C-alpha cells in the first residue's frame, strides 16, 4: 500500500496548539515520514466565525480536507474529529460534518482525595494527588488531557465531593499555586478546572463561627475566597458542592434553603464568570427501616423542585440520573423537566461502584442511551432537554494511575462514550462502542463484531445476575461489590425491598408512597399502570407477589431464577468469546481482560447462587426446570 | 463506731512487698491512723512450708488474724483475701480459709497492638502501647497489677495474638529492654509476662527463607531468640502462638503438624522453663457457604485430638470454651476431655465482642459457671479437669485506658470474676457478683439486692433479644455489634443457620454433620436426643421446623417472638432498676451506666424488631398475642 502523505495549511491566527495536535496525531497514525510539499492530501485549518462556540465543520474533497471553527476549542475538536475519522479508515474526500456540542459543560468529576486515594476508584491511585499535595507526571497529565479533549470533555472537577482533610485547603494560598500549575497544563486542551469545596469552609478554613449563607461575614468570606482563587486561576469553571448530604453540613443545618446556600457562593463567583455546581443528592441517610412512609427516591424532588426559579443564573443543579444512587437500573430522576427555570446538569457515574467495579464488564453507553431516552412527558425525553435547561453533563471518573487508565481495559470504552454522548446524546451505544473497538483494536471484523456484541450485551447480562427488575441494592454494604440480598434491608440508608414469603418491592404509586406522582402525569401513568410499566422497572414501582405473571407468562419468581441462570451462562459466553479472539488481540490486553473475566464469572456465580437460594429459602418453590438451587 | 485498729507482725523472711500491700490495703479501708501497739487486731504474716504453691491459710481468733503461705505469692494472695474479707465486713475472729488455686496458670490475654489500638477493645486504648512502643503510666500499671493480683491472676499476655507490624519486634533487642522494664513493674505482684509471637518470625525477623519447624535453621533461630528473650526477662512465662488461623501462617503451611510447630518453639523455651501456649482456633475461614459437609465447629477437634500425647510437656493447648467463637451460647469444645495426655488451657473472652461490646450489660460469670459445669462424660464436667489436664485458664482482657478500666462500669465485674473463677471454678456467679457489688458499691441491701439480681439476669436477657437457642452469629459483619440475621449467611466464615420458609439450624448429630460424635458417647447422646438436648442449645445441634413444640408447649417461632419481646422489656426493667438506685450510687457511676443502658435499650429494640421481622417475613405467621411486628 502506498504511503499516505499530507501537508498542513494553517490560516493566519490559527492556534498553534491545534496545528501541533493535528501534526502529531497524523504522525501517530501514519508514521513521521508523511509530510510532503506535493502531498496526496492538504489539510487546512481555518477560522469560520459564523460557526457556534466549540463547533467545527469538516469537509473533504479530492486531495483536500478542511477543518473550520469559530474558536480555538472548536478547531481542536475538529482536528480530533478528523483524526478519529482517519483512524476509523473513513474516506477523506467524502468527509462532511458540522458538529456542535449539545451540552456546553461536559464535565468529568474526579472523586480523588489529596492523600492519593480515590473514593469508589477501581483503577489505582489518583493521577493528581499524593500525600496531601498535588503530585503528578506532567506527561501523563497531558496524555490524559488529550484523551479527554479528543472526546469533547471540557471540564475536570479535580477532587472528591466529600471534601476532607487537606482537600479543604485547595482554595488557600497554600495549595492554589499547585492547582494553578495543573490548570496551566490542562488549559491548551480546552479543559477548565472545577474544585469541590466544603460548605462549612467559612468555619473550617475561615475560623468563622457559622457557615450560614445568609450571614454577611459568611458571604464576605466566600467573596474573598473567590477573589483569591481567581487570582490564581482566572478561567476556573467554578465550585462543586455536596451539601446537606450524607453527614456533610449544608444550608439546612442553618435553617436556610438550598437556594440560599447555592446563591451565596454563586454571587461570590459571579464577578469572575464562575459557576456553582450544586448537587441534589440530598436525602435522609438515617432512616428507620421500620418507617414505611419516608421513601428515599422522593427526597431530591421534595427538597428542590419548589425552589425552581430561585437559583441564580450561575448555579447549576447537578442531578444524578436516577432518584436513588447509580444503580444498574433506575427510572430517571423526576427533577428533570420539573424545574424549567433552573439550570441543571445530568450526573452519571463512570466509575463502576454498583456496576461491577471494573472487574465485571459493563458497557455504560447502553445504560446512558436509555437514560437519554427516558420520558419527561408523553412527548419529550431527557435528550430533548440537553442544551436547554440541562446545560451540563457530568460523569464521575473511572480513571486512576493504572497503566490502562481504567483498570479493566474494556472500561476505557465508558470514558470514551461519556465524552461522545455528552457532546451528542443522539449517538447510539452501538455507534460508540463500534468506534471505540475499532479505534482501540483495529477494524478486523472477526474481532470487532463479536467484541461489539459482547460489550453491548454486557449491561443486560450484569442486570440478569444481580438484583432483579429494578429493585437494586442487593449488594454488600459499604464496598458495594457482590451479593447481599438483605445487606441494606435493615439499614438507615432508605434502600429497602421488604421481601417476604409472598411478595417483594415497594408500591411507589399514589396508592403507595406516592413517588410516581412526582413525574409528569403522562409518565406517572406509564409507571403506575402495571400493564405499561417497563418490565425492567417493575419492582421499582410496584410490590408484587412471586406468582405475578410477567408478559412472557413466567412468574416473577421463575423470572428471577431464569435470569440468574442465564446471566452466568452469558458470562461463560464472554469468556469463550474472549478466548476465541486471543490471536487478534495484543497479548497484554488479552491477558488482563481474561483475568477480569475469570473474576466476573466467579462473581456472577456467587450472585446467581445467593439470589436464587435467598428466594428459594423464602418461598420453598423450586426452579421449574429443575436446575440446582443450593438449599 | 469505734475506730478499728491494727498492728502488723511479720515473721523473719517475709516478703516486704506483701507486708506493704497489707499495710496500704488496711489504710485504704480504715484510714491511715489505725496503727497502734495496743491495737484491737494483730495481723501476723508467716511462712508455712507445708502449704501448696500459691496457696494461703487465713485464720482468725479473738484479737488476731493470721495469714500463712509457703511462698511469696501465696502470702500476697492471702493478704488480698484478708483485705477482701475485711472490705466485705466479715467477722475477723471467725476467719478460716485454706485456699489453693485450681489452675496454676491464670492468664489475662491482651489483644493490644503496639500502635495503641486494641483488637476487639471497648474500653479505650492500650494501657501498654502507644505509637509502636511501650508507653504507659507506671502508677496506672501498678494499680492494674494490684487489681489483677488481688483476684489471683498470675500471667499477662501483653500483645495481640494477631502479631502485626511493630509487634513482631517485641522479641528483638530493639524492644526487649522496654518489655523487661514492664515485667519488672509487674513482678512484685506475682505477674509473669507472656508474649504473643508470629509463627513466621524466623522469616519475618530472622530473614530465613522458611519457618518450617522441622528445619534446623528455624529451630536454631528460635533457640537464639529464646536465649535473647530470657536474658532480658528470666521469668517470662512463654510465648502465645496463633498459627494456621485466619490467614496467619502455621506449620500446616509447611506440611507439618500442629505438634511439630508447637514443639519446635517449646524446645527452644524449655531450658528457661518457658511454655508455649498454642491456640487451637484452627478452622477453614474460606469456606464456601454452599458446602454443607464442612462444619466449622468440628475443625479444632479434627486438627488436634489425634495428636494427643505428641506435644511436649511445656506446650499448653489453648482452647476456646466453645467450638465456634465466643458466642453468647455454645456447647463446650469437644477437645476438653479428648486429649488426656496433653496439657490444656481454657480460653474465655472477657472483652464483649459478641456479647454487647461493653455497651450492653452482660455478666460473664453466669456463662462461665455454665461452662465449668458442662459435661465431659456422664459423670465429669469441665470443672473436674481444671488442675488436671486443664492446667490453665486464660481470658481475653476487657480493659483499656478508660478511667473505669472496662468502659462499662459494671463490666469490671467480669474482670473480677475471671480471676476469682480461674482460682476457684466452684464459685457460683451469684457469690462472685455479690462480692463485686459489695466491694464496689457497699453493702446497703437496698442497692445490692436489685443490682445483683439485674446483673445475674443480664446474660439471659441478652440471649433473649439476640440469636435464639444457641444458633449464634446473627450479627453485623466485621464489627459484630447489632443484628444482621443473614450477615454471615453467605460468608466464607463457616457460620450458617440456613433458615428457610419452614426450618432453621444445622443437624449436627450423626445423621447430619456428625459434630456431636466428637463428644464422649454420654454427651453425644445428651445433645443428639431432642428430648434431652438442653433447649438453649437446640438450634446448635438440630435443624427444626418453626412449628417444633418446645417443652413449654410453644412453637419454636412463638418462642422466638416471645423471647424477643421479653428481652426488650427486661432491658427496660434494667433502666428502671438503675434509676431507682440513683440515690445510692456515686453520681459518675450512675450517669455512665445510665448512658450505657439507654444505648442497650436501643440495641435491644433493634434486635427484637429485626429478628421478629425476619422470621415473620419468612414464615408469614404473626405473633399469637398480636404484638406489633414490623412488616
Question: Tens digit of pLDDT for each residue in B204-224?
Answer: 999 999 999 999 999 999 999
Mean pLDDT of chain A: 97
Model confidence, pTM:
0.94
Grid cell at residue A62: 479530492
Q: How far is A363 from chain B (nearest CA, A)?
A: 28
Percentages (nearest 5) of helix, strand, coil residues in chain B? 40, 15, 45
Grid cell at residue A532: 405499561
The pLDDT value recorded for residue B13 is: 83
A334 and A382 Cβ atoms separated by less than 8 Å: no
- Cβ-count burial of A562 within 10 angstroms (0-12 exposed, 13-18 middle, 19+ buried)? middle
pLDDT over 90 at B106, yes or no: yes
For residue A326, the 8-state DSSP code is: S
Q: Which helix (H) or strand (E) holds B459?
A: helix B445-465
| Residue pLDDT, tens place only, A452-499 | 999 999 999 999 999 999 999 999 999 999 999 999 999 999 999 999
The pLDDT value recorded for residue A13 is: 83
| Residue pLDDT, tens place only, B60-75 | 999 999 999 999 999 9
How far apart, in Å, are the Cα atoms of A255 and each of A259, A280, A282?
Answer: 12, 17, 15
* A-chain residues near B485 (CB < 8 A): 486
pLDDT over 80 at A233, yes or no: yes
Q: How far is B512 from chain A (nearest CA, A)?
A: 15
HEC letters along A131-144:
CCEECCCHHHHHHH
- Please name which of A389, A436, A386, A372 lies closest in space to residue A101, comparing C-alpha atoms: A386
Cα dihedral A496, A502, A508, A511 sign: negative
B428 and B379 Cβ atoms separated by less than 8 Å: no
> Could you tell me where the beta strands, DSSP code E, fall in A437-511?
503-504
B72 catalytic? Reply is no
Cα dihedral A576, A579, A580, A586 sign: positive
Q: Is A547 helix (H, G, I), strand (E, B) or coil?
A: coil
Catalytic residue among B224, B246, B449, B500: B246
HSE, side-chain direction, 13 A CA sphere, residue A624: 10
Where is average pLDDT lowest: A477-491, A524-538, B6-20, B554-568? B6-20
Residue B624 pLDDT level (bands cut at 50, 70, 90):
very high
Grid cell at residue A477: 454494604
pLDDT over 90 at A573, yes or no: yes
Cα dihedral B472, B474, B477, B481 sign: negative
The pLDDT value recorded for residue A14 is: 87
* CA dist., res. A82 & res. A74, Å (int): 12
* CA dist., res. A336 & res. A316, Å (int): 13
Grid cell at residue B515: 459434630
- Please name which of A64, A44, A39 lies closest in space to residue A56, comparing C-alpha atoms: A44
The pLDDT value recorded for residue B317 is: 98
The pLDDT value recorded for residue B2 is: 61
B134 and B110 Cβ atoms separated by less than 8 Å: no
Do the bridges between strand A56-61 and strand A64-69 make them parallel or antiparallel, or are there none, so unpaired?
antiparallel
Please identify every residue of A annotated as catalytic. Answer: 246, 325, 353
Q: What is the mean pLDDT of residues A382-409?
A: 97
In a mutational test of the A interface, the residue from B289, B475, B617, B622 whose CB has the highest number of chain A CBs within 10 Å is B617
pLDDT over 60 at A1, yes or no: no
Mean pLDDT of chain B: 97
Contact A501 B620 (CB under 8 A): yes
Contact B290 A609 (CB under 8 A): yes
A508 and A292 Cβ atoms separated by less than 8 Å: no
Cα dihedral B22, B28, B33, B38 sign: negative
Q: Is A375 helix (H, G, I), strand (E, B) or coil?
A: strand
The owner of cell 491511585 is A125
pLDDT over 90 at B1, yes or no: no
Burial letters for A504-533: b for 16+ Cβ neighbours within 10 Å, e otherwise? bbbbbbeebbebbbbbbeebbebbbeeeeb
* CA dist., res. A176 & res. B441, Å (int): 60
Residue A2 pLDDT level (bands cut at 50, 70, 90):
low
| ipTM of this complex prediction, to 2 decimal places | 0.91
* CA dist., res. A397 & res. A405, Å (int): 10
Grid cell at residue B470: 444457641
Residues of A with CB under 8 A from a CB of B: 289-290, 292, 477, 483-486, 490, 498-502, 606, 609-610, 613, 616-620, 630-631
Cα dihedral A435, A437, A442, A447 sign: negative
Residue B3 pLDDT level (bands cut at 50, 70, 90):
confident
Q: How far is B502 from chain A (nearest CA, A)?
A: 8
Catalytic residue among B54, B68, B325, B570: B325
Amino acid at each position: 500500500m502506498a504511503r499516505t502523505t499530507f501537508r498542513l495549511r494553517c490560516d493566519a491566527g490559527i492556534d498553534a496548539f491545534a496545528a501541533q495536535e493535528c501534526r502529531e496525531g497524523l504522525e501517530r497514525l501514519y508514521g513521521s515520514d508523511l509530510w510532503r510539499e506535493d502531498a496526496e492530501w492538504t489539510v487546512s485549518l481555518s477560522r469560520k466565525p459564523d460557526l457556534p462556540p466549540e463547533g467545527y465543520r469538516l469537509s473533504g474533497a479530492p486531495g483536500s480536507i478542511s477543518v473550520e471553527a469559530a474558536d480555538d476549542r472548536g478547531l481542536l475538536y475538529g482536528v480530533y474529529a478528523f483524526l478519529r475519522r482517519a483512524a476509523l479508515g473513513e474516506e477523506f474526500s467524502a468527509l462532511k460534518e458540522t458538529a456542535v456540542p449539545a451540552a456546553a459543560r461536559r464535565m468529568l468529576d474526579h472523586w480523588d482525595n489529596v492523600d492519593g486515594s480515590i473514593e469508589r476508584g477501581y483503577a489505582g491511585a489518583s493521577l493528581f494527588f499524593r500525600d496531601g499535595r498535588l503530585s503528578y507526571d506532567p506527561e501523563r497529565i497531558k496524555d490524559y488531557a488529550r484523551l479527554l479533549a479528543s472526546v469533547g470533555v471540557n471540564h475536570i472537577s479535580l477532587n472528591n465531593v466529600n471534601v476532607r482533610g487537606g482537600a479543604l485547603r485547595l482554595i488557600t494560598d497554600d495549595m492554589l499555586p499547585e492547582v494553578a500549575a495543573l490548570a496551566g497544563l490542562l488549559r491548551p486542551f480546552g479543559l477548565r478546572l472545577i474544585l469541590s469545596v466544603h460548605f462549612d469552609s467559612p468555619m473550617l478554613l475561615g475560623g468563622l463561627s457559622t457557615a450560614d449563607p445568609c450571614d454577611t461575614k459568611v458571604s464576605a468570606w466566600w467573596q474573598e475566597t473567590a477573589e483569591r482563587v481567581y487570582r490564581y486561576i482566572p478561567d476556573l469553571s467554578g465550585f462543586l458542592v455536596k451539601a446537606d448530604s450524607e453527614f456533610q453540613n449544608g444550608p439546612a443545618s442553618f435553617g436556610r434553603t438550598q437556594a440560599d446556600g447555592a446563591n451565596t457562593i454563586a454571587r461570590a463567583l459571579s464577578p469572575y464568570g464562575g459557576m456553582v455546581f450544586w448537587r441534589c443528592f440530598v436525602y435522609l441517610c438515617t432512616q428507620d427501616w421500620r418507617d414505611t412512609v419516608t421513601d428515599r427516591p422522593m427526597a431530591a424532588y421534595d427538597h428542590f423542585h419548589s425552589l425552581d426559579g430561585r437559583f441564580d443564573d450561575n448555579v447549576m443543579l447537578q442531578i444524578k440520573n436516577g432518584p436513588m444512587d447509580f444503580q444498574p437500573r433506575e427510572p430517571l430522576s423526576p427533577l428533570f423537566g420539573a424545574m424549567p427555570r433552573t439550570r441543571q446538569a445530568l450526573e452519571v457515574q463512570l466509575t463502576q461502584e454498583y456496576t461491577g467495579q471494573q472487574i465485571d464488564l459493563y458497557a455504560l453507553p447502553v445504560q446512558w442511551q436509555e437514560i437519554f431516552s427516558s420520558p419527561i412527558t408523553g412527548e419529550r425525553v431527557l435528550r430533548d432537554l440537553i442544551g436547554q435547561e440541562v446545560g451540563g453533563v457530568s460523569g464521575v471518573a473511572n480513571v486512576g494511575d493504572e497503566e490502562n487508565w481504567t483498570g479493566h481495559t474494556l472500561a476505557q470504552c465508558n470514558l470514551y462514550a461519556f465524552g461522545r454522548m455528552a457532546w451528542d446524546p443522539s449517538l447510539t451505544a452501538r455507534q460508540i462502542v463500534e468506534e471505540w473497538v475499532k479505534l482501540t483494536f483495529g477494524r478486523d471484523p472477526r474481532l470487532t463484531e463479536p467484541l461489539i456484541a459482547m460489550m453491548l450485551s454486557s449491561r443486560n447480562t450484569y442486570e440478569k445476575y444481580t438484583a432483579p427488575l429494578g429493585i437494586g441494592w442487593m449488594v454488600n454494604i459499604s464496598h458495594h461489590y457482590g451479593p447481599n440480598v438483605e445487606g441494606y434491608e435493615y439499614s438507615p440508608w432508605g434502600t429497602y425491598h421488604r421481601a417476604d414469603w409472598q411478595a417483594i418491592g415497594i408500591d411507589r404509586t399514589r396508592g403507595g408512597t406516592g413517588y410516581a406522582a412526582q413525574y409528569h402525569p403522562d409518565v406517572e401513568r406509564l409507571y403506575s399502570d402495571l400493564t405499561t410499566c417497563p418490565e425492567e422497572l417493575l419492582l421499582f414501582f410496584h410490590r408484587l407477589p412471586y406468582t405475578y405473571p410477567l408478559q412472557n407468562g413466567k412468574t416473577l419468581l421463575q423470572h428471577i431464577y431464569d435470569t440468574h441462570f442465564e446471566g452466568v451462562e452469558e458470562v461463560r459466553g464472554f469468556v469463550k468469546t474472549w478466548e476465541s479472539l486471543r490471536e487478534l488481540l495484543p497479548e497484554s490486553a488479552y491477558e488482563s481482560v481474561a483475568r477480569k473475566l475469570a473474576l466476573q464469572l466467579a462473581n456472577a456465580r456467587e450472585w446467581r447462587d445467593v439470589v436464587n437460594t435467598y428466594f428459594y429459602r423464602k418461598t420453598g418453590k423450586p426452579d421449574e426446570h429443575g436446575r440446582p438451587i443450593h438449599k
